[in-house]
Amino acid sequence: MTLTPGHHQVSNDNGQIVLKTFRDGLAAQAGHDLVIELPNWEGELIIGDDGAPTALTVTIDMAAWVVREGRGGLKPLTDGDRREIAATARKLLRTDQHPRAQFVATGFTPSGDGGDMDGTFTVRGAERPLRLHYAATGPGRFQVRGTVIQSAHGIKPYSAFLGALKVRDAVEIEVDAAVPAAPEAVE
């Protein structure tokens, strides 16, 4: 899929970033698999003259968490549970010291109507390589997927009941975003 060359602004105005966590451990049935939205983000996608992506930078406000869904568990999530989960996540991520995460693409490998992008992902002050897969889902619309390993960024995955209930180290990232048809003017 070919896009209009230029600098395109992307943000929560034209897309959504969702994290998916999964429970683990002997007491996993007591916990929930979570769907968490990161509602405040923005970035810039640069499309080259050939219509292929050449650069992408995305910055995410890590203090703004919204727990959208909790699957499984012994009881449904309450609003209080959602607030507690968000507060715990902000504490584990030290958002008071590191309020933003950032992904900077360093290379693109196109394949059909999608491909892979390699880059660096910085969260909680730790920068690590990250490969994301992207696929066109419609005209100017893309889905991006990848997996972040918490421990690689110095994050100890949440656990309770002496480790009998814990969150898996791997967290899935899903992005659904539209690339604006007209690029921003660059001065």
| pLDDT at 160 exceeding the cut of 70 | no
Residue 187 in any domain: the answer is no
Whole-number mean pLDDT of the chain? 88
The mean per-residue pLDDT over the stretch 31-36 comes to: 84
pLDDT of residue 70: 85
DSSP string, 142-165: EEEEEEEEGGGGTPPPPEEGGGTE
Looking at the domain assignment, is residue 183 inside a domain? no
Is residue 1 included in any domain, yes or no? no
Query: Comparing C-alpha atoms, which of 131, 141, 142 is closest to residue 103?
Result: 131
Look up residue 152 and give its DSSP letter: G
Number of structural domains, the chain?
1
Average pLDDT over residues 11-24: 92
User: How would residue 141 be classed by pLDDT, with cut points 50, 70 and 90?
Assistant: very high
Q: Is 122 a member of any domain?
A: yes
Q: For the sheet with 165-167, list strands across it.
A: 23-24, 165-167, 159-160
105 domain residue, yes or no? yes
Q: Give the global pTM.
A: 0.88
Q: Is residue 49 assigned to a domain?
A: yes
Q: Is residue 98 part of a domain?
A: yes
The answer, yes or no, to whether residue 13 has pLDDT greater than 90, is: yes
Of residues 8 and 180, the one with the higher pLDDT is 8
The CATH code of the domain that includes 59 is 2.40.128.110
Domain residues for 132?
6-178
**Predicted pLDDT of residue 182:** 73
CA 105 remoteness from chain centre: 14
Amino acid of residue 88: T
Using alpha carbons only, how large is the chain's radius of gyration in Å? 18
Q: What is the pLDDT of residues 68-111, one digit of tens each?
A: 988 887 888 889 988 888 888 888 889 999 999 999 999 999 88
Q: Do 93 and 61 meet the contact criterion of CB atoms below 8 Å apart?
A: no
Give yes or no for a contact between 36 and 17, defined as CB atoms under 8 angstroms apart.
no
CA 177 to chain CA centroid, Å, is: 12
The percent of residues in the chain predicted with pLDDT above 70, rounded, is 90
Question: Tens of pLDDT along 128-137?
Answer: 999 999 999 9
Phi, psi of 90 (to 5 degrees): -60, -35
Q: Give 116-145 as a 3 state SS string.
A: EEEEEEEECCEEEEEEEEEEEEECCEEEEE
- Please name which of 66, 88, 67 lies closest in space to residue 77, comparing C-alpha atoms: 67
Greater pLDDT, 12 or 65 = 12
